[in-house]
Amino acid sequence: MTRGGLNPGPWIDRCCDPINVPKPPPESIGIMGWLQSCRQNYAETIDVLYSTNTIILSSEATITELPSLITHDHLTKITSLEIQAPITKDNVLEDITNLILPDPHSPRFPNLKRLYISMEWSGVDTRDPDPDELIALFDTLARTIKECAFAIPMEWFSRMSWGQMRSATTGKQITYSQLWRTLGNAEEDKDAHEGGFDVIQLPYVDSYPKPPYHLQSPGAGYWILEASEMSLSMDYDFLTGQYNDNYSDFR
């Protein structure tokens, strides 16, 4: 689900590219039209629709207005949620946090078991978040979800992962572009950026969405992924602000 992985994330969606479109081309059948065509259809399947499918939100308006678009009863049925969040403000997760945790003690989606969020550039000039601030926001959301992952731009990921991803001697990337964050005690874990991170240790294979295989007792946690279409030989040096196309020791 990360850069170079076998399963690209939702930020890489080419299902409608001409080369991928089958003949005849697909047509939208409109699930809501089918549900509304018959009261029995609606009554028998609406709960199944929300409880067994992944609901995908892909615009700022949908994220902020979802509670007014879907009834509270249906929101409580949702078990899997994917959000493509445009980066339009300094607090990139403000709208998502307000959606999922309007009250820290009363989540809006009590049955939510899987949450996937990809943060994507939208052309708006915002400051790069401090890694500690970003991780603190991730932790708050992830503590309420069984399976959780956050995909962030390459530039942010580089600042967060530089010490874990690269060889101390060569500086080359030596593992997958993803970090496993172990959730510690909320009160005791004061320095989020300095602890609680693990990477895939080769020759272990990618374990996503499960914790890295080398961890004996991983406990609760979540993945931080790099959302990028660039080749594995391309990296970003947050110290210089330069993109480098170098041959990597890791393929």
Q: What is the pLDDT of residue 155?
A: 84
pLDDT band of residue 42 (cuts 50, 70, 90) is confident
Prediction pTM value: 0.75
Q: Which residue has the tokens 């330069």?
A: 242
Q: What's the pLDDT score for residue 161?
A: 79
Assess whether pLDDT exceeds 90 at residue 224. Answer: yes
Non-local (6+) Cβ contacts of 20 within 8 A are 14
| pLDDT at site 251 | 41
The stretch 91-96 carries a mean pLDDT of 86
Sign of CA dihedral 187, 97, 30, 18: negative
The total of other beta-carbon atoms located within 10 Å of residue 197's CB is 18
DSSP of 168-180, one letter per residue?
TTT--B-S-SEEE
Q: Which amino acid is at 100?
A: I
Residue 11 class from Cβ within 10 Å (0-12 exposed, 13-18 middle, 19+ buried)? middle
Residues in the chain: 251
Tens of pLDDT along 174-208? Answer: 788 889 999 875 555 544 444 488 888 878 788 88
Residue 232, C-beta contacts closer than 8 angstroms, at least 6 positions apart: 3, 4, 173, 177, 248, 250, 251
Least confident among 101-110, 157-166, 197-206, 233-242: 233-242
Of 170, 163, 158, nearest to 241 (Cα)?
158
